[in-house]
A and B are shown apart, each in its own frame.
Chain A
Amino acid sequence: MEKLSNRSKLVVNKEMSFKERIYLPAILKGMSITLKHFFKPAATVKYPEQTRPMSSIYRGQHVLKRDEDGKERCTACGLCAVACPAEAITMVAAEREKGEEHLYREEKYASTYEINMLRCIFCGLCEEACPKQAIFLTDRIVDAEFGRAEFIYGKDKLVEPVDERVDISQRQIWSYNNENA
């Protein structure tokens, strides 16, 4: 076949010089680099005792937010479940009864809300799809577990407790930050 371009190069195995053949200078050079690292501070983060700073917009474990009065924001519209590429979210909607106004913000709420953390890929599409600013991903990491069943996170793990709110003000969600501004 004819040449396709003029850029081809002929490869030759060139003879090594004496200095290259005894290999000692190359070995010494390598060893000196190794030796240099003896005197440098260690790069290791001793993980369980020390932790590395995490980005505040890291996408980790989800939180179902409550509003200022402690009412759940989620109305079980199902948009997060539709947006979820891994189909990890399931929910059952229920109607708010009389006397439950202090628990749920609107007439409809999610009686069960489950995320399969083994399926979840932490892409954040649920957070983007949510029209009520109810679900957010946080910078908490999901722990490793021994069994599959522990990874179905229900409302007990997802809804934030009234007295210890999860801070998500650093997240880059325009609508949420502007609603609360």
Chain B
Amino acid sequence: MFGKKVPLSGRNKQMVKIVDQPEGYEGQGFFATSLDKVIGMARANSLWPLPFATSCCGIEFMATMGSNYDLARFGSERLSFTPRQADLLMVMGTISKKMAPILKQVYDQMAEPKWVLSVGACACSGGIFDTYSVLQGIDRVIPVDVYVPGCPPRPEQIIEGVIKIQELAKNESLRRRNSDEYKRMLESYNIETK
């Protein structure tokens, strides 16, 4: 089942790529591997993104979700418009200082494990908006896992970012979110830890 290329019937003769099998022992009727690899694989290939789209990068994100680029191929079919069911916060667009507490609240409401993808120059660093009202990068208020540069980035670049997030999710140890280091990191952003 894993790692094989399955030809499609009908006119679409292109191959469908399926996720590779994790390392483990295989035998007659059984397959054994470590739990975190299976969970990492499951998490990485079923990320539910929460689009926090405030400007033109959001339009580019819509192109990424559309049929030409189709983010659903990476298991991100289902957009979650409630933070409580989302795994991946995609911040796309200018975040003003007035909006920063709201963004932080959205991040707070997300359940662990959670990742943050910052798309576009404005979300990453403020871009050209070096003004009194614009937050100079969302990493002032929440921890960011992957940055995608561009103004706005092409859908290819957004997909690159999602692939990087998948890499993170796949290789993360199960205890990371309970570790002291992680808690300290959250505390440095003044985010309450339970």
Contacts and interface: CB of A to CB of B under 8 A. Distances in A.
- Is chain B found bound to chain A in the same assembly? yes
Given A43-B68, A45-B68, A86-B121, A144 B146 contact: yes
A86 B67 contact: no
A118 B128 contact: no
Contacts of A122: 150-151
Interface in A38-60: 39, 41-49, 51-52
Contacts of A42: 12, 14, 67
A121 B160 contact: no
A117 interface: yes
Interface residues of A, number: 32
B128 A86 contact: yes
A36 interface: no
B161 A121 contact: no
Chain B interface, >50% SS class: loop
A142 B67 contact: no
B172 interface: no
Contacts of B70: 44
Given A41-B12, A118-B147, A141-B154, A47 B159 contact: yes
Given A118-B137, A144-B164, A86 B11 contact: no
Contacts of A18: none
B139 interface: yes
Interface of A: 39, 41-49, 51-52, 85-87, 116-123, 141-148, 151
- A-B pairs, top 4 by smallest CB distance, nearest first, are A121-B151, A144-B161, A118-B125, A118-B124
